[in-house]
Amino acid sequence: MTHRVERVMIDRTQIQEMVDRLAAEINRDYEGQEIVVVGILKGSFIFMADLVRKLTVQTTIDFMSVSSYYGGTKTSGIVKIVKDLDVNINGKNVLIVEDIVDSGLTLLNLKDLLRTKDPASLRVCVAFDKPDRRKTEISADYVGMSIPDEFIVGYGLDYSGRYRNLPDVCILDPDGGKK
């Protein structure tokens, strides 16, 4: 099945305003401190790059790659570490950067896992939040935008590895334009 972009949900100007606001909040909250920013691959890489360039606090950057789908289309919620941290986060302020939170299961398990590494603090920054899809009591400390339950692509978000490079966040036409 071929999908096509149906429409732009969030344009690049709105995205940049969101990044500016989040960076200002993070800079304020961590003023005079150091943080380790942990991007969750692959979806967060564009958002994280934009965000860290706006941070004025001392920042170390690392990445993790996790999987919770195991070949299906629905999350299992169980985190499989594909790429672990290279940086020791013991005693450090850690900021997880995610592209999107929907069910919350993966994020809950990821936070539990990182807490075992004894960070001084552990917070989460997400570009997009789908609260209507939540299956657990978890929330991000920094939320770019709450969005409705639509399948979105662009700005790092993908469908089968495609569309990450779109500069806007778009909704895919589930019928592939065959209406």
Alpha-carbon distance 66 to 85, whole Å? 11
Say what the pLDDT of residue 138 is.
Answer: 86
- Does some domain include residue 54? yes
53 inside domain: yes
Residue 138 in any domain: the answer is yes
Q: Is residue 99 domain-resident?
A: yes
- pLDDT at site 71: 47
Residue 173, pLDDT score: 78
Q: Which domain holds residue 63?
A: 12-147
Determine, yes or no, domain membership for 76: yes
Dihedral through CA 105, CA 59, CA 161, CA 109, nearest 10? -10
Q: How confident is the model at residue 134 (pLDDT cuts 50, 70, 90)?
A: confident
Lowest mean pLDDT among 74-83, 116-125, 139-148: 74-83
Amino acid making up residue 27: N
Reply yes or no on whether the pLDDT at 179 is more than 70.
no
Is 50 among the residues known to form the active site?
no
- In-domain check, residue 170: no
CB atoms within 10 A of CB 100: 21
Number of domains in the chain: 1
**How much is the pLDDT for 66?**
85
Provide mean pLDDT across the span 23-37: 98
The Cα–Cα gap between 86 and 84 comes to: 7
- Residue 67 resides in a domain: yes
Give a yes or no: residue 125 inside a domain: yes
Residue 64 maps to which CATH number? Answer: 3.40.50.2020
Owner of token pair 């935008």:
145
Q: What is the pTM of this model?
A: 0.90
* DSSP annotation string for 95-145: EEEEEEESS-HHHHHHHHHHHTT--SEEEEEEEEE-GGG--SS---SEEEE
User: How sure is the predictor about 73, in pLDDT bands with cuts at 50, 70 and 90?
Assistant: very low
Catalytic residue among 50, 99, 102, 168: 102
